[in-house]
Structure 1
Amino acid sequence: MPTYDVAVARLVEAPVGRVWAAWTTPEDLRAWWGPTGFTCPRAEVDLRVGGRIAVTMRAPQEWGGFEQHSAWTIIEASAPTLLRYVFRFTDADGWAITPAQAGIPAEGVPDEGRHEVLLTDLGDGRTELRMTEHGYTTTDARDMSRTGLEQCLDKLTALVETGRAERPAGAA
């Protein structure tokens, strides 16, 4: 069965260490994790191979205010340039659940997804961020994930460039 990957890149006007911190510190994760309008009330980080990052994403009230939990089991971490992890949806206690149990509407989302964050120091306080999510089995699932990831990375970029995860109205 073919699989489809999500690959997203950003040029970030911030030093590589600052972008790394956005991925690996609870305060920063709480500021940007989740698509536009979503919040992240919980982020826990155990940054070591075999450790995990656990996050909770909360939908806005107009979407019902549901919470979705996930754990990212770290398989490789090389600060400040590489983070590889296995993504799983979990219940509130951290136990693995299927995407359907997590309320994911699209068939084709893997139970476990290998993800990679690659940061390249471009000099002059700029960083190239490349994020890849592997293993979607349908293009619909891939496209749904890409939409959410694009919005998350927009918030991350705004956070490290301006100190705020949501860009002011009218900002590029």
Structure 2
Amino acid sequence: MTQDSAGSGEVAVTRDVDAPPDVAWRAWSDPDRIRQWWGPAGFSCPRADVDFRVGGTTLVAMQAPTEYGGFLMHNRWTYGALSVPTRIEFVSEFADADGRAIEPAAAGIPPGVPARVPHVVVLEPLPDGRTRVTVTETGYTSEQARLQSQLGQEQCMDKMQAMLARR
């Protein structure tokens, strides 16, 4: 672990997307769009129940491909701050199908992933009508958990980038 990541347990992923900030914002707030990019490569998102407001929650489901057992995993995002169209702050927790928080170990997650993972999404307009999207997660307590989350977030952002390129 580097000095910076060891101290913060941070994951940060940045992608420049082919869409203005208001369109990139909808990728986070529109259930149909979330279902197109949520989950790592090969995973689908069969469910995105969205209450996109401060204090609201989004419940997303991630479906593994059959070669990984086809399991279904839920996450609940609870919004703490929204600044249209530049910043989204939420806390992600593993959840059951009813949206009740569960401990990471109960979801089959290895040690080092906190029960509550703060996220900050920054949408920065670029001069060419594109948007730089940066997602920062904090709180990981092991390098293995941090790296696994980094890979998953990179794959989600790759899917978002591809979705916005074909809009």
Fold-level similarity (TM above 0.5) = yes
Please name the residue that 2:165 is paired with.
161
> What is the rounded CA distance, in whole Å, between the counterparts of 1:113 and 1:86 in structure 2?
5
Please name the residue that 2:141 is paired with.
137
Please list every run of at least 4 consecutive aligned residues from structure 1 whose deviation after the TM superposition is greater than 2 angstroms: none
For 1:90, the aligned partner's letter is A
> What is the rounded CA distance, in whole Å, between the counterparts of 1:13 and 1:110 in structure 2?
33
> What is the rounded CA distance, in whole Å, between the counterparts of 1:32 and 1:7 in structure 2?
17
The partner residue of 1:86 within 79, 82, 91 is 91
The partner residue of 1:18 within 20, 23, 44 is 23
Asked if structure 2 preserves the Cα contact closer than 8 Å seen for 1:3 and 1:138, the reply is no
Structure 1 residue 155, shift from structure 2 partner = 0.1
Which blocks of at least 5 consecutive residues in structure 2 are unaligned?
A: 1-5
> What is the rounded CA distance, in whole Å, between the counterparts of 1:70 and 1:53 in structure 2?
8
For 1:159, the aligned partner's letter is M
Which blocks of at least 5 consecutive residues in structure 1 are unaligned?
A: 164-172
Structure 1 residue 18, shift from structure 2 partner = 1.0
Written as runs of structure 1 = structure 2, the 5 A alignment for 1:4-43 is 4-43=9-48
Please name the residue that 2:125 is paired with.
121
Structure 1 residue 2, shift from structure 2 partner = 4.5
For 1:134, the aligned partner's letter is T
The partner residue of 1:100 within 101, 105, 113 is 105
Please name the residue that 1:150 is paired with.
154
Please name the residue that 1:169 is paired with.
none
Structure 1 residue 47, shift from structure 2 partner = 1.2
What is the identity percentage for the equivalent residue pairs of Structure 1 and Structure 2? Answer: 50
CA RMSD of aligned residues (A): 1.2
> What is the rounded CA distance, in whole Å, between the counterparts of 2:20 and 2:157 in structure 1?
16
> What is the rounded CA distance, in whole Å, between the counterparts of 2:107 and 2:65 in structure 1?
16
The structure with the largest helix share of the pair is 2
Structure 1 residue 123, shift from structure 2 partner = 2.7
Alignment TM-score, normalising by the size of structure 1:
0.91
For 1:116, the aligned partner's letter is V
Matched, 1:76 2:85: no
In the comparison of the two structures, how many residue pairs are matched?
A: 162
